Amino acid sequence: MPGNNENKVRKRVKQEENAGELRVSGDQQTKDESSPAVTAESLTGVGKWGNLVASPSSFVFTLNINALIAVLTFVSFVTRFWRLEEPRGVVFDETHFGLFTSFYLKGMFFFDVHPPLGKLLIASVGYLAGFQGDFSFEKIGQEYPCEVPIWHLRFLPALCGSLLTPLTFYILEGMGFSQWTAAVGAFLVVCDNSLLTQSRFILLDTILLCFILLSFLALLRFRQVQDKPFSIQWWIWLTCLGVFLSCTISVKYSGLFTSVVILGVITADYWTMVGDRGVSNSHLFKEMLARAVLLIIVPVVLYLSFFYIHLTVLYRSGPHDGRMSSAFQASLEGGLAKVTQGQPKNIAYGSQITLRHTHSTVCWLHSHPHLYPLRYSERRGSSIQQQVTCYTFKDVNNWWIVKDPEEEGFATENPQRPVKDGDIIQLIHGTSGRRLNSHDVGAPMSPQYMEVSCYIDYNISFPAQDLWRVEIVNKDVQGNLWKAIHSHIRLIHVNTSQAMKLTGQQLPDWGFYQHEVATDRVMNQDSNIWNVEENKHSSDKEDDFWDDTKELSFFSKFWELQLKMLEANRNLLEDHKYQSDPMGWPFMERGIAYWMKTTTNAQIHLLGNVITWWSANLGIVVYLVVMVIYIIRHQRACNDLTKGLLLSVVSSPAFWLFG
């Protein structure tokens, strides 16, 4: 009997070798020849990763390796990793992402328009490689010193770029294409110059693409096991889909489009299930709950977790603090926190303060001895009063003194009398001694608003209108006392009942290109919200001073950072020298110069594979023409394809086009 069993094993090995399979086997003593095989399905859904055959007579493990994808994956890894450390100079956006890696390793806060996951992963590799973040990444072409582990810093993008090849193969095969067709698709990925270039440097693009393809693969695998709801495979692939979707969005916000397409497919599948009367209400509820938890709640939690790690690591003041609010800056170690430490927390009559615009443009209320011109360019007259602007730098002319209109002087009182919500105040400019004023004169650049100035008495019938009411916008949280840093206020001009705002316009050369300040009758807008950043006055109470141990909550910092990132992304719509027209992308009208060495004229350009890109363009045109013909023939009852097949042929390419 053992001899018969060995003959069967040899026969099976020979058959599998003829099929191009690799087999590892070992014999053991047996008593039974007919033990069943334990198998695990491969990602292709066609072959098997391995068969484990256990019987009293033998132990056999079969490992299936697809030679096509093995070779393509090997070539992909070789082309991405071969001499990865070259060139040993800063290439294109390594000036940004390499510098961000340095900031992570130093714990210094920085601002970027992209979510943190991709940068965190690169920084983690740099940390494991012993990088201290001591390189500046100042300009393209700057040479890397020997102590910078550039191979390791470029490792993760190269790894993700290499994995695009097998992922493409398994996705195409999972969509029902033959292995040869899937291999052609994977081969085109290997040979694409643009993907190869982006894979070899400290960039986020291949990391994003890797998570996108992983999301599509998880979607296909999940749809293949939808007929086995709540099975182990069903849970695994649905969970993987939620995780990969979250990672996609957390690398770049452009991944949101992929997420919308995939969630649309999942929703459509569920809607089809709703129309099946054979599915019970309880089953529908369980399906909906599982999908909501794993595809919405889990991705949101992961997204927040990545930002939590990001903000926890970046605990120190950095070069981009100025983009954030005063409260955010004060929560960082060093920087503004050093200034606010020990300063009074309440604004009192007699306080010397700086007023910062809270939202959008970072600037401080400012005045200087220069006057508004007699007439503006459109021949409209002005008040010829002292200019009041919003200045984007800290300056001695940003200081103001809070005065009680009922008092003659403005010396600091003792004990302090704090300013409360609804109080009427005057603001005296610190260096000129003139009062903040407004009147019925059109603002220089925005005549629909009223001018703000510092009042000069010309001994004419032009009385001062220098009273302002303090309105604390967030008094429900911060209370009725006007506090430095955290109280967001509006200054309401008493005579006109208009709020002082930043108009968004810049003054011409006579205003030194500083930002225009005016008053507007519309109250509910972010442009008229200000906060005190620095506050000086004497106090004899310890509890009147700033408690530097208080920090913003994670959600406060996260929400502010999120809004700033979205605002910065909107501003990216402005022209820049590397921009290109989307209509020119398919035809590769222009490339992007990534790097050049002046001594040898060696260059790196981002440019796609001409054959691949142009043949893809032709394929899209041919596909659209053929589909239109098929649809017209189907409408005329010429059923060349079944309705289901026609829908599949139409929807699958559309899915990839928009995904």
pLDDT at site 67? 86
Decide: residue 108, CB within 10 A, 0-12 exposed, 13-18 middle, 19+ buried.
buried
pLDDT at 125 over 80: yes
pLDDT at site 593? 87
pLDDT at site 54? 40
pLDDT at 136 over 60: yes
Range scoring the smallest mean pLDDT among 46-55, 89-98, 409-418, 444-453: 46-55
Tell me if residue 572 falls in helix, strand or coil: coil
pLDDT at site 381? 84
User: At 576, is the pLDDT very low, low, confident or very high (cuts 50, 70, 90)?
Assistant: low
Going by DSSP bridges, is the β-strand pair 399-403/352-357 parallel, antiparallel, or unpaired? antiparallel
Residue-range domain boundaries for the chain? 2-65, 343-542, 609-659
Q: Which residue has the higher pLDDT, 311 or 57?
A: 311
Q: What is the pLDDT of residues 286-340, one digit of tens each?
A: 999 999 999 999 999 999 999 999 999 999 999 998 889 888 998 898 888 777 7
pLDDT at site 379? 84
Q: Which residue has the higher pLDDT, 322 or 137?
A: 137
- Mean pLDDT of the residues in the chain: 85
Backbone angles phi, psi at 523, to 5 degrees: -90, -45
Average pLDDT of 114-130? Answer: 97
pLDDT at site 649? 67
Q: Which residues of 464-497 are buried (b: 16+ CB within 10 A; e: fewer)?
A: ebbbbbbbbbebeebeebbbbbbbbbbbbbbbee
pLDDT at site 579? 65
Tell me if residue 112 falls in helix, strand or coil: coil
Backbone angles phi, psi at 624, to 5 degrees: -65, -40
User: At 591, is the pLDDT very low, low, confident or very high (cuts 50, 70, 90)?
Assistant: confident
Percent above pLDDT 70 for the chain? 83
At the topology level, CATH places domain 343-542 in Trefoil (Acidic Fibroblast Growth Factor, subunit A) (2.80.10)
Helices (H), 398-496: 475-478
Q: What is the pLDDT of residues 504-532, one digit of tens each?
A: 999 999 999 999 999 999 999 999 999 99
Q: What is the pLDDT of residues 178-232, one digit of tens each?
A: 899 999 999 999 999 999 999 999 999 999 999 999 999 999 999 999 999 999 9
State the pTM of this model.
0.81
d(CA 224, CA 319) in angstroms, rounded, equals 50
Q: Measured between alpha carbons, how far is residue 379 from residues 18, 179, 373, 376 in Å?
A: 92, 76, 11, 5
User: At 34, is the pLDDT very low, low, confident or very high (cuts 50, 70, 90)?
Assistant: very low
Q: What is the pLDDT of residues 641-656, one digit of tens each?
A: 777 776 766 666 666 6
pLDDT at site 270? 94
pLDDT at 28 over 60: no
pLDDT at site 64? 64
Decide: residue 545, CB within 10 A, 0-12 exposed, 13-18 middle, 19+ buried.
middle
pLDDT at site 597? 86
User: In the structure encoding, which two tokens stand for residue 345, read together?
Assistant: 């927390």
